[in-house]
Structure 1
Amino acid sequence: MEIYHHRPEPYWEITATFQLGELSYEGSWQHEKAPKSGEGNSDRKRNRIFERQLLDAIVKRLEQAKDATAVDQSSEQRQRAPIPYDLTSLQKDANSRFGMTAKQALDSAQRLYLNKLLTYPRTDSRHLSKAKMLPELNQMLGQISDDSNYGSIIKQIQSDGAQNINRVFDDSKVTDHHAIIPVSLPTEPLSGTDQKIYDMVVRQFLASLMGPATYSRVERITKVDGDLQFKTTGRVLKVAGWRFAMGDEVGKGQGLQALPKNPQTVTLAKHEVAEKETKAKPRMSEANILARMESCGKEISDEELSDAMRDKGLGTPATRADTIERLIRREYVRRQGKFLQPTPKAIRLVEMLHEVGARGLVSVELTGEMEQKLRSVANGDVSRIDYMKAQRELATSLAEQLRSFSFDDLYEDERNLGAVPGHPKVQVRATPWGYQADLGEDEAFFLWKDLRGHVLQPATIRQLLANEEATTGPIPLPSRHRGQEDHLVNIRLVRMEEADYAKLLAAKKKRLPSRWRLEIVGEREQIAAHAEATAGEDLISTLCTCTKFDDVEIVETDRRYVDRGHVGSTERPVAELPKEVCKRPISRSEAEAYFRDGRTELLSNFISKRNRAFNAILFLKGNGRHGFEFENRSERKGRGKGSS
């Protein structure tokens, strides 16, 4: 619901370029003190300016300033090695890194187990038996040392000696099955998800036996006009440690070229202001959901704390993937790329259970406690009779709440959301399925709660009815195409014309149809403009497939590059790229890289609205449109690999 209630708020960021001879670097302006943290304050980051007056004052001072003082502060950061995978942590990483579903990861791990390449995957332990497995460690490493991908890593472990023995090998934390580790090398090449899962397990196991990684970090604070503060950071891998098992080498990262002196006077070369908007939190991925199920709904990233919450988790590692798939099959959840989105059906169900007072049925904590008590019964800590007595009392209470409620009493607080336009004495009220008002026998007022996958909230209807133009927004509408992000729209309440309503009345069946409906502001104009632009669009040839959107086929037409299903269509395409962007023609090879890789190389000769040439990378956004990414700071003069 945070996404529903979020309203974009404009803000600005200032980036300045500083020079000292051939040395050049950029810094981001930031408040001298970090904003106070608190609920509803997550958008207040240190480098964001929300007040126009403050922005103007800073810009005025920068325009008059020439010199600045830069100070470097160096530090080292140590990152300890991970521990081997259990099923849930493997599923989370596979989803985060490769977009795999929990079921895909489980199925791959199960196939690898049946082929004697991995140990049993349906485990909730991330540890190995010290008594049984530590004496066989050299043999375990020898079984996979012949693979050229892992041989150098194993030699490094043998040279340095296995690390983290007491942390990885712990009999007290091994349950029915130990952590997932490799058993042998495949005799034939693996493909697809199987290869990715096998490689993840091997590298995680080897990394767990290596020392910490050490990063060299430099924070450069450049002050202009005394107290205008700009921050630049550099971070480089100094000691590879366990990161070597993940393919990283010393020197990886983005460093800062050292200053001749510390502090050092530098010149302010230029500054740029970027106007942006706050965004709602991204939807939860399967990795997020699995983590919440494991820790009973709580956000826990630390491995040790996660271990402590395991007894209060929802389900078991073996059942969580099936639970997610079942929710999708029953249309409570919709999969959007690697993100999961609740359907209106699910939102209305949870809303209804809250209204009738049966919150326990959707309480993560209650479910977690029930599963914990079941484990206590299995362990003999709680008697079966006491457990069943408590569950009977809970079930009786919930059943009574569900049986005794009245629909008339459900939305008592939402009876007067506002007057129907033109009818100041007729109030709109909430119902389980929508928003309704009584206008008499000749005209009906009803708005469904489900608007293209978005469930309209009472607060939105209040704003709509309070607005003189009967508009409100923006609200997020889920994309109709898999993998695309939500798009923000404004909505308008409109009353149908007499002729249109007469046609609707003629076709009516049992109930009087609503004369009122919601429309997307500007949608008619957009459809008309798009229809004109695509009228008579001719297909030229196939271009490639688009990796970002499930390998949808991209074709070239006489006007654009677009997915085949939307050639000549007035609907919003899955992905498209104009043949000319900012007065610059886009070639077939550039378009192919754009759809295949999600981005082009750095392209030159774009022309801005101010008729200025600029260079940029075109990248494919989550909504299927193109965006600009300007030259990477790390590639600019004075920035590159290295340490201070």
Structure 2
Amino acid sequence: GFSARRTLQIAQQLYERHKVITYPRTDSRYLPEDYLSTANHVLSSLVDPTIAPHARKVLQNGWLKPTKRIFNDAKITDHNAIIPTDQVPRNLDEAQTRIFDMVARRFVAVFHPSAQFEVTTRITRVEGEAFKTEGRIIKEPGWLAVYGRQAASEEQNGSLVDIVPGERALTRHVEIIDCQTKPPPRFSEATLLSAMESAGKLVEDEELREAMAARGLGTPATRAAIIEGLVYDEYINREGKELIATSKGISLVTLLRGIGINLLSSPELTGEWEYQLKLMEQGRLERSLFMAKIKDLAREIVHKAKSFESDTVEGSYLTLDARCPKCGARHLREDYRTYHCETCGFRLFKNIASRELSPDEVTALVTDRKVGPLNGFRSKTGKPFAAVLILNEENKPEFEFNNNGSQDRIVIDPQQHPVVGKCQICEGGQVYDTGSAYICENVAKGSCTFKLNKVILQCEIPPEQMRKMLLEGKSDLLKRFISKKGRPFDAWLTLRVGKIGWEFAKRPARRKAQTQK
């Protein structure tokens, strides 16, 4: 699937460059009441062989009707729903074809009748206990036919085996299955966009909920950018299709609630503003009064943030099953800012160099006195870097790396740093694994320049892969690199005379878009 931002970009191309869909930056789901003839013309103009037959069926069966479910002026504000135009798609790439196909199928499907299912519920009693079995088959596919669904045949799975009245069941096997409830699934970009659109449902106040009913959080033009901003600022991470809150994001929400300005993390703030804007529109609230309330709220937020002096805030915190590195006490407690020992006072700040340590990373650090290499740190100038984090003799965290990567003095200890292979550049030196980088021993002497960070694009290069690159010039397929746009990808790394290169898997040939000559 595409990200929200990418989807909007593709839709904008279809609108501006190819002119095959209407204005895309809208969340409207209705058409104007005078669009009946336009809809008729668009249905007649669709040429895709997998969609056109369904469009013709709509026209032949008289399903195109002025129903309020589709054509409703009262539900339209600035723009109507996204639909195809009468332009025949030409020269669309694969991504554009996929998005256009979604728009076209949805447009055709909405005029189809509802799908009809036959649901059979059977209760079987064994030793006085009731066992329920359900079967469900499609009788009339309706709008599902546009997406390739058909009515079920008798042989198709989903139907129950026929029985005669009074037939007795033969119990062959009884099994007790222990199950657990599952937490709600994580948000994907699609489900988060839906949640933002319907955020007003979470507001308890009826007037505020009504004010947000037509808007939600953000607008169709800004929601994708809001998500991208959260990813860029590292409040959430993309992992496949899932969006996962980072420690930084969770800490921010905890802080807002702890210092009493949790309104910033609630849709009620948007609801309040939308409600007051509606009053202004109706002439029931002066603009100056509205702006005065905004200023008062801003002052209150700044005052609470500045006056908050506590090291911790109320929240749900962890107890780490890790011994204190200073006194050996059994557990470390978490608070808002630190992990600390209640016995000796040892404290380890969660945030180091603009990066928040996860509980697993803290456990590894205090147990092994070393963790990493970790990526995501930022220097005082804002530049990202990766490093190994260690606890020094005073039990304080330090970076194990060479003065932010400078070549001033590199010390390799053969007793601590394992050899991974022979250097490709000087051909006489050994390449050592220093924990944060692979470095030739002759770099310190000034006679070689080979040095390779152990983390490249947030992917750690294991010693066995470095050894393979030094011997064969190419690694195995490495997974979960993260591009500058935050996208995961897989690749082979190549090493030629000390220079890193990339090899990517060949993509399947793109299917040519359907065009009409």
TM-score norm. by structure 1 comes to 0.52
The answer on 1:121 being equivalent to 2:24 is: yes
1:63-142 superposed matches below 5 A? 99-114=1-16, 115-130=18-33, 132-142=34-44
Following superposition, the deviation at residue 192 of structure 1 comes to 2.4
Deviations 1:340-359 (A, max 9, x none): 11221111122112111111
Following superposition, the deviation at residue 170 of structure 1 comes to 0.6
Aligned to 2:60: 159
- Which of 79, 84, 97 is 1:182 aligned to? 84
Aligned to 1:168: 70
Decide which structure has greater helix share.
1
Measured at CA, do residues 425 and 241 of structure 1 come closer, stay the same or move farther in structure 2, by a change above 3 Å?
closer
Cα RMSD between the aligned structures? 4.7
Contact 1:296–1:368 (Cα < 8 Å) also in 2: no
Aligned to 1:267: 170
1:176-575 superposed matches below 5 A? 176-227=78-129, 229-251=130-152, 254-272=157-175, 278-296=181-199, 298=201, 309-311=212-214, 313-378=216-281, 380-408=283-311, 410=313, 430-437=334-341, 444-446=346-348, 448=350, 456=359, 494=367, 505=392, 512-513=395-396
Alpha-carbon separation, structure 1, partners of 2:312 and 2:278: 39
Aligned to 1:46: none
Q: Secondary structure at the match of 1:128?
A: coil
Alpha-carbon separation, structure 2, partners of 1:224 and 1:415: 47
Following superposition, the deviation at residue 494 of structure 1 comes to 4.0
Decide which structure has greater strand share.
1
Please tell me the residue identity of whatever aligns with 1:169.
Answer: F
Contact 1:124–1:175 (Cα < 8 Å) also in 2: no
Following superposition, the deviation at residue 134 of structure 1 comes to 1.7
Please tell me the residue identity of whatever aligns with 2:396.
Answer: P
Following superposition, the deviation at residue 546 of structure 1 comes to 9.4
Contact 2:477–2:492 (Cα < 8 Å) also in 1: no
Alpha-carbon separation, structure 2, partners of 1:533 and 1:546: 15
Q: Secondary structure at the match of 1:266?
A: coil
Q: Secondary structure at the match of 1:350?
A: helix
Measured at CA, do residues 533 and 393 of structure 1 come closer, stay the same or move farther in structure 2, by a change above 3 Å?
closer
Q: Secondary structure at the match of 1:311?
A: coil
1:590-629 superposed matches below 5 A? none
Contact 2:140–2:151 (Cα < 8 Å) also in 1: yes
For structure 1, the residue ranges without an aligned partner over 5 or more in a row are 1-98, 301-305, 457-474, 478-488, 498-502, 516-530, 554-562, 567-591, 597-644
Measured at CA, do residues 426 and 396 of structure 1 come closer, stay the same or move farther in structure 2, by a change above 3 Å?
farther
Q: Secondary structure at the match of 2:58?
A: helix
Alpha-carbon separation, structure 1, partners of 2:318 and 2:172: 61
For structure 2, the residue ranges without an aligned partner over 5 or more in a row are 204-208, 371-389, 399-461, 495-504, 509-517
Contact 1:417–1:428 (Cα < 8 Å) also in 2: yes
Alpha-carbon separation, structure 1, partners of 2:136 and 2:270: 43
Q: Secondary structure at the match of 1:340?
A: strand
Alpha-carbon separation, structure 2, partners of 1:490 and 1:261: 64
Contact 1:291–1:299 (Cα < 8 Å) also in 2: no
Aligned to 1:620: none
Contact 2:31–2:80 (Cα < 8 Å) also in 1: yes
Following superposition, the deviation at residue 453 of structure 1 comes to 7.3
Contact 2:466–2:475 (Cα < 8 Å) also in 1: no
Following superposition, the deviation at residue 334 of structure 1 comes to 1.1
Identity of aligned residues (%): 31
Alpha-carbon separation, structure 1, partners of 2:132 and 2:357: 40
Alpha-carbon separation, structure 2, partners of 1:426 and 1:235: 56
Contact 2:20–2:84 (Cα < 8 Å) also in 1: yes
